[in-house]
Each structure stands twice: as C-alpha cells, then as structure tokens.
Amino acid sequence: MEAAVTLAISLVALLVGAGASYLYLMYVSTSKARAQHESATRVIEEARTQQKEILLAAKEEAVRIRHSAELEAKERRDDLLRRERRLQQREEALERKLDTVERKERQLAERETQQQAVRAELEELKQRQLAELQRVAGLSREEARAMLLASIEDEVRQDASRRIHEIEQQLREEADRRARIILTTAIQRCAADVVSEVMTSVVPLPSEEMKGRIIGREGRNIRALEAATGCDVIIDETPDAVTLSGYDPIRREIAKMALTRLIADGRIHPARIEEAVARARQEMEQIIRDEGEQAAYKAGIHGLPTEILRLMGRLRFRTSYGQNVLDHSVECAALAAMIAAELKADVQIAKRSAFLHDIGKAVDHEVEGPHALIGAEIARRAGLHPKIVNAIAAHHYDEEPQSVEAIITIVADSISGGRPGARRESLEQYIKRLEAVESVASSFPGVERCFAIQAGREVRIVVKPEELDDLASLRLARDVAKRIEETLQYPGQIKVTVIRETRSVEFAR
C-alpha cells in the first residue's frame, strides 16, 4: 500500500516537474521571440530613417548638379556672346582698314603718275644742262666724269688716311689701357711673399770644440766630408758655425743635412761620414720629388711627367737675386693663368708654360747653354705641347715667341721678377749695374746726358737736338736697347726713353 502511495507521489511529482519545465521553456521562447521582434522592428525603423536621409541627400545633390549645369551653360552662352561681339568688331575694323588701304593705293597710284611726269621732265632738263655744260667747258661727259672721280678719289684717300691714323691711335691707347688693367688686376690678385733672406749654407755648432772633431786627426774627417759631398768646408773664426761652399745648391744642401746629422750624433769619422752623406742623398731625392709635386699642386697643374716634377723640385734649392726659383715659378703660373683668362687665351697652356719656364736652371750647372733653351729641350723630350716648348725657349727671347701664351709667359716672368721686394742684390752690384747702363747709353754720339732711374729698369737719354733729328732719336733708342741686351746682364727688362727738345731763345733789347 505504501509502495503504491510512494509510486503515485513520484508520478505526481514527475508530472508537476515536467509541467513546470514546459512552462519555463515556453516562457523563455516567448521572451526570445519578443526580443527578436523588437530588434527587427528597430532595424526596420533605422532602415526607413536611412532611406529618408539617402533620398534627401540625393535630392540635394540633384539640385546642386542642376544648378551647376545651369551656371556652366550660362557662362558658355556669355562666352559665345563675347566672342561674337569681338568677331563683329574685328570685321568692322578690317572693313575700315580695307577702305583705308584702297584709298592709299589710289593716292599712291596718283603720286606715281605725277612722279613719272616729274622724272621725265627732270631727265629732259638734265640732258639740256649736260649739253650746255659740255658746250661751256669744252669737255665730254666721260672726261668730266673721270676728272670728278679723280678728285673724289684724292679726297677719299686723304680722309681714309686721316681716319686710319686716328683709329690706330685709338687702338693703341685702348690696347695700352687694357694691358694696364689686365696686368694691374693680375698683380693685385697674386699675393706673393717678399724676399727676406738669401739661402745660405751655414751649419750651426753646439760648441767651438766641435770644429776640431769635424777637422779630425790630420784633417781626415774634413777631407772625407769634402770628397763625399763635393763641397768645400770652411772653418774660420766665425763663432759656433761652419760654412759650406759649392757651386751646386743640391750638393750644398746634402752636405748641410749630413753635417747636421753627424753633429747631432757626435760620432764623426770617415766611414760614418760616407754613411751620413749617402743617407742624406737618398733623403734629398725624396725631398726633391715632394717639393716638385707640392709646387705643381699649388700651381693647379696635373699630369706632368715624374722626371719633370723631379727637376722642378731641384729648383727649391736654387735662387736668383735672392728669389727662390720654385716659388717664382709658382707665382708666374698664377699670374699667367689670370692674364690668359682676361685675354681669352688657353689658360692651361699659359699656366704650364709659366710654371716650367725656368726648368733649365735645374741642370744649367751640368749642361752648357742658356737655361731657356736647356729647359725647352727638356720639355721637348718629355713630349709636352709645342706651344709650351716655344714659350720656355722664348721667355728670354732666345727664340721668337710664336703664340699669345708665350707672350703671357714673358709678361708673367717680368712681373714676378720685377715687382718690388721680389729680388735683391748687394748695393755694390746695384750701383755697378746702374753705371753700366749709363755708360752704354753715353757711348753713342749725340747724347748730352743720360740717367738710369727706377732701380735701373729705365734709362732716359737727353740728346742734342742740333745733331739728331726725330728719326735719328728713334734709331738711337733702338740701338741703345740692342747694345744693352748684348752687353749687360739684368733681371726683367730695361726701358729706353730718348728725349729730344728744341729751344728757341731770343733777347729783347
């Protein structure tokens, strides 16, 4: 009985649970359906709202496009109207011009008819006048024409000669002015050092006892040094100094380097001397190459053969009137480049010619002849440009200059050697040079007085006017210049000025 009741209760409970579950599921499904319905309703409302906004934007865009099209159409209509008005105005202007042209053509035709009539009348008068002139003068037409042409030809020749003389004078003045400007500009742009000291071969000593060590026992050290270097070692009363004497500056420099090294080392004997001289000679070769390359770099010149650079490096130890020849060459290259640029000449040819013009001085102690011709032969063997070879040979007029670059080289050399402070010489040599110039000028007949001025770079000669006329004065200036070139040695050039004046004196009594 109890089992039946328990079973009945269990069944009732199961049915109640199943009913409750069914009711719960129905509630949940109803809630989801309601939520989905509300969401769908919301989406539909949003879609309707967006549809209204899109339609409104489309209507506004359509209105804007229609308004824009109307404006564009209006502008095109206005442009067409303007063009039509312009065409109409042009047509009217053309019609007016055509009327004017036709009227002028009629006037020209009338004038041409009148001119033909006047021309015929003038021709008739001309024939009558010619006939009357021939009757009065007794000359034919051809004879009169020949006389007239001869007279006109004489007048034209005189006018042409006078005009040519004036043009030549103007050209000379203009050329002189331009040359002064170019040279002044080149000199001002080239800032070169003034010679302050002459290269010497004096070796300082730390003490007087070092002189005995240099001489050595029975003079063997000094003899070994002189034999190895080719220079004379002079040991005199000069305190703490030894003088090296020799005609070759390279040898003097090698001797100076070797002796300086020996003095610093303290070990002085014949074997050590030969070793020091050999080492100094090797170092000197390297120094010479470096000096040549540095000089070419300063001058802005590239591509020169190694042998040419080595010879140019030797000029570092060569001086001319106290002016270092290598520095002089670099300065000449700069001057030549500036002048060539002003004259529209070949700058590279002028620069190389001026840089190498004194290369013959590197070997003039070893080869006989003028250094200009020696340098030209060196340049020719190195395969340099023929203009460079000619410029080197002609810079002292040993040959005739054949190009404007050769003339520029001569001018640059004169400027560099003749500028104030470039070179110096002793007072005695300076006075002797002035006296030599004056003696040459005084040796000619007809010379009254002569003066060497401007440091011997110009000589002014006053002649006797009753003995020499103007042409003779010109010949005297040329002869004096030629005699100076043949007999004297001088840096740069010397200007010869001959002055001839006539004085008329009368006394009122």
Whether 139 is in a domain gets the answer: yes
| Dist CA 416 CA 323 (whole Å) | 10
The DSSP string of 404-471 is HHHHHHHHHHHHHHHSTTS----HHHHHHHHHHHHHHHHTSTTEEEEEEETTTTEEEEEE-TTT--HH
Q: What is the mean pLDDT of residues 203-216?
A: 80
Separation of alpha carbons 322 and 326, rounded Å: 12
Residue ending a domain, choose from 172, 189, 206: 189
Does this model's pTM top 0.75? My answer is no
Say what the pLDDT of residue 163 is: 83
Average per-residue pLDDT in the chain? 82
CA distance 51 to 54: 5
Of all helices (H) and strands (E), which one includes residue 234? Answer: strand 232-234
CB 239: neighbour CB atoms within 10 A?
9
Instruction: Verify that 344 and 281 share a domain, yes or no.
Output: no
Distance in angstroms (rounded) separating the CA atoms of residues 453 and 168 = 30
Contacts of 501 (CB under 8 A, 6+ apart): 462, 465
Q: Are 417 and 433 in a shared domain? A: no
Closest CA to 236 of 206, 265, 202, 259: 202
Are 247 and 274 contained in the same domain?
A: yes
Of 399, 352, 402, 349, nearest in space to 374 by CA: 399
Domain limits at 121? 113-189
Q: Which pLDDT belongs to residue 195?
A: 41
Rounded Cα–Cα distance for residues 406 and 412 (Å): 10
Does residue 31 lie within any of the structural domains?
no
Chain segment 4-55, per-residue pLDDT in tens: 777 777 777 777 777 777 777 777 777 777 778 888 888 888 888 888 888 8
Number of domains in the chain: 4
The tokens describing 320, both together, are 């001319």
Report d(CA 63, CA 424) in Å as an integer: 100
Q: Do 333 and 395 fall within a single domain?
A: yes
In a domain, 287, yes or no: yes
Domain of residue 341, CATH code: 1.10.3210.10
My answer on whether 407 and 339 are in the same domain is yes
| Lowest-pLDDT choice from 17-21, 89-93, 198-202, 288-292 | 198-202
- Looking up residue 495, the CATH number of its domain turns out to be 3.30.300.30
Which pLDDT tens digit goes with each residue over 106-118?
Answer: 888 888 888 888 8
| Residues 217, 221, 226: CA angle, nearest 5 degrees | 140
Average pLDDT, stretch 422-451?
78
- Separation of alpha carbons 312 and 323, rounded Å: 15
| 351 lies in some domain | yes
Both tokens of residue 232? Answer: 């004379």
- Residue 197's pLDDT is what? 40
Tell whether the model's pLDDT for residue 461 goes beyond 80: yes
Predicted local distance difference test score (pLDDT) of residue 232: 83
- Note the pLDDT tens digit of each residue in 350-380: 999 999 998 988 887 777 778 888 999 999 9
Looking at residue 428, what is its pLDDT? Answer: 64
